[in-house]
Amino acid sequence: MAALERHFYEDNCLYGISEIFDGLNPTNGRGCVQQAWSIGMLMKVLLSMQTSTTTKAKQEVLLEI
């Protein structure tokens, strides 16, 4: 997430998300800036991460009971 934060706040398209990134730990964004599907996918990933964290916490509580 640190690389994405750097991209968003400091690099390439400030306060935006590039269309394409290369590799597992991308540093340079390419393509169009502010693509709707790039922003939508980021929202989907963040929601998925939040949901999985919440589910894991619920599972841990159930195991303690």
pTM over 0.75: no
Express each pLDDT in 12-44 by its tens digit. 667 778 888 777 776 677 888 777 887 888 888
Specify the number of domains making up the chain: 1
CA angle 21, 39, 3 (to 5 degrees): 45
Residue of 30, 33, 12 whose CA lies nearest to 22: 30
With bands split at pLDDT 50, 70 and 90, how would you rate the model's confidence at 61? low
Q: What secondary structure does DSSP assign to 27-55, as a single string? A: --EEEEES-HHHHHHHHHHHHHHHHHHHH
C-alpha span between 65 and 62 (Å, rounded)? 5
pLDDT digits (tens, 9 = 90+) for 44-58: 888 888 887 777 666
Domain that holds residue 11: 2-64
